[in-house]
Amino acid sequence: MSDINQTTGAALQKKKYIVPIGPQHPALKEPGHFEFTVEGEIVVDASIRLGYVHRGVEKAAESRNWTQVLYLVERVCGICSHSHGTAFIQCAEKLAGVELPPRAKAVRCIAGEIERLHSHLLWLGVAAHEGGFDALFMYSWRDREIVMDILENFFGNRVNYSVNIPGGVKEDITQEFIDGISPDLDYLEERMKFYLDLINTDVTFRMRTVNIGKISYDESASLGATGPTARASGIQRDIRVDRPYDGYDLFPITLVTDDRGDLNARFIVRIKECLKSIEYIRHVMAHIPEGELTTKMPRKIPAGEYMASVEAPRGELFYFVRSNGTEMPDRVKIRTASLCNWGTIVSSVAKGHRLADMPMILAGIDPCFSCNDRMVKINFGNRNPEIWTWDQLRKYGNNFYK
């Protein structure tokens, strides 16, 4: 009997089980379906299915004029709305041969860094909550309210603030704004230092993040990771530095990197980026150029194609825009940072870790599901939706441009 029990126990230990999470799950702030294959408590394989919040934004852009599309793409992601608007309108401005006034460039940079503060603080709370650190979640979201108040006072809205317009910006940096934001920046700087110290010294937090979810430099490079996820693995890549846009050539910014590649490094990189953003906002406000906020843009954008990349809070945000010379774009293609970073989870990071670590590892790349869900093909013969593989999409794209 003892031998039978031992044999049965050994067989059970080797058996693999699939644990589904989502698409509706308390741990997910947006819907996504994950399947983790486990042996005991250890994850040995992972898969993901997205597409639950596809809204047809790219197709909708083809039936709206350039100004309407600007407001549309800002709603791809509420947390990165300025980045989406900036990437799109850059394409239109370059096709039209328009050069922005220096002051407008500086305002766009300030807006982008305030948005980065907002995004990173929101992420800090979500990631902490996934690990059970609810005190840190409440602290960070309390401080996030201060950033959202800044956005509201500056732009009029807490999200989707629409500072960009074709050919410039619609809001100015006044002395009143500078005087009002300065105490808030001082407070936020102290809070970031507090969070940095907590992440480096709290024993429980370090147990949940150090050597958890490691992505090596080579893995990060080969899988196409971007943003803080890549920089936490030692990759020195940032669109603001590599290909400066808007005011980042006038006011350069320095990179924040870490070479450990684990979950703890991803926390540290983002918080240090917040400190850099605060420093950068102060510098630009102190040296903001004089001049106009806008330059004239034509209603009809000349025919042509342009590609623009901006450094959104989650990483490189890429836009391809094609104009046919009318008041409406012919094609708008969006590739977000989250789409690049998902590969790190399903290919390598999840494997070998405990199932209990998965929520925090997933949150560690700061995923945005709405940003990912770009395309679904409808078979008009039977009206059934069809999810395309990457290879199918690649072949379709090659045939389209022949």
Contact by Cβ (8 Å): 19, 29 = no
Q: Which of 233, 245, 231, 224 is nearest to 336 (CA)?
A: 224
Q: In a 3-state reduction of DSSP, which class is residue 348?
A: helix
Is residue 304 assigned to a domain?
yes
Residue 137: its pLDDT value, please?
93
Measure the CA–CA gap between 253 and 264, rounded to whole angstroms. 23
Half-sphere exposure (CA, 13 Å, Cβ side) for 71? 4
Measure the CA–CA gap between 275 and 191, rounded to whole angstroms. 10
Look up the CATH number of the domain holding residue 112. Answer: 1.10.645.10
Q: What is the identity of the amino acid at 165?
A: I
* Confidence class for position 97, pLDDT limits 50, 70, 90: very high
Is residue 363 assigned to a domain?
no
* Confidence class for position 376, pLDDT limits 50, 70, 90: very low
Measure the CA–CA gap between 107 and 164, rounded to whole angstroms. 9
Measure the CA–CA gap between 31 and 339, rounded to whole angstroms. 15
Residue 3: its pLDDT value, please?
55
Is residue 382 assigned to a domain?
no
* Domains in the chain, number: 1
Residue 337: its pLDDT value, please?
87
Residue 233: its pLDDT value, please?
94
pLDDT at 82 over 90: yes
- Which residues, in sequence order, are CB contacts of 370 under 8 Å at separation 6+? 30, 53, 55, 76, 77
Residue 287: its pLDDT value, please?
94
Phi, psi torsion values for 61, nearest 5 degrees: -65, -25
pLDDT digits 0-9 by tens, 126-141: 999 988 899 999 999 9
From the CB of residue 223, how many other CB atoms can be counted at a distance below 10 Å? 21
Stated length of the chain: 402
Q: How far is CA 109 from CA 73, 168, 249, 283, 309, in A?
A: 19, 12, 10, 11, 14
Is residue 296 assigned to a domain?
yes
Look at 151-165, 252-266, 375-389 and tell me which has the smallest mean pLDDT.
375-389
pLDDT digits 0-9 by tens, 292-302: 999 998 888 99
Q: What is the mean pLDDT of the chain?
A: 85
Contact by Cβ (8 Å): 371, 338 = yes
Is residue 17 assigned to a domain?
no
pLDDT at 28 over 50: yes
Describe the crossing of helices 102-130 and 81-96 by its angle, rounded to 10 degrees.
Answer: 150
**What is the arithmetic mean of pLDDT over 138-148?**
94
Measure the CA–CA gap between 191 and 223, rounded to whole angstroms. 34
pLDDT at 375 over 50: no
Q: How far is CA 142 from CA 137, 188, 242, 360, in A?
A: 9, 11, 34, 21
**What is the arithmetic mean of pLDDT over 239-257?**
92
Measure the CA–CA gap between 62 and 305, rounded to whole angstroms. 14
Beta strands 329-335 and 315-323, pairing class: antiparallel
Can you give the residue range of the structural domain that contains 258?
Answer: 57-350
Look at 54-58, 171-175, 237-241, 312-316 and tell me which has the smallest mean pLDDT.
54-58
Is residue 395 assigned to a domain?
no
Measure the CA–CA gap between 338 and 369, rounded to whole angstroms. 8
Residue 2: its pLDDT value, please?
52
Q: What is the identity of the amino acid at 213?
A: G
Is residue 73 assigned to a domain?
yes
Q: What is the pTM of this model?
A: 0.86
Q: What is the CA radius of gyration of the chain?
A: 23
Q: Which of 91, 56, 97, 54 is nearest to 70 (CA)?
A: 91
Residue 9: its pLDDT value, please?
52
Look at 30-39, 228-237, 365-374 and tell me which has the smallest mean pLDDT.
365-374
The label of the residue with tokens 């494997």 reads 351
Question: Bigger pLDDT: 299 or 316?
Answer: 316
pLDDT at 394 over 70: no
Diameter of the chain by CA atoms?
Answer: 89
Contact by Cβ (8 Å): 105, 113 = no
Contact by Cβ (8 Å): 261, 231 = no
Question: Bigger pLDDT: 343 or 259?
Answer: 259
Beta strands 315-323 and 304-312, pairing class: antiparallel
DSSP 181-239: HHHHHHHHHHHHHHHHHHHHH-HHHHHHHTTSS---HHHHHHHT--HHHHHTTT----H
Question: Bigger pLDDT: 23 or 256?
Answer: 256
Specify the DSSP element, H or E, that contains 11: helix 2-14
Is residue 400 assigned to a domain?
no
Contact by Cβ (8 Å): 9, 30 = no
Residue 41: its pLDDT value, please?
85
* Confidence class for position 264, pLDDT limits 50, 70, 90: very high
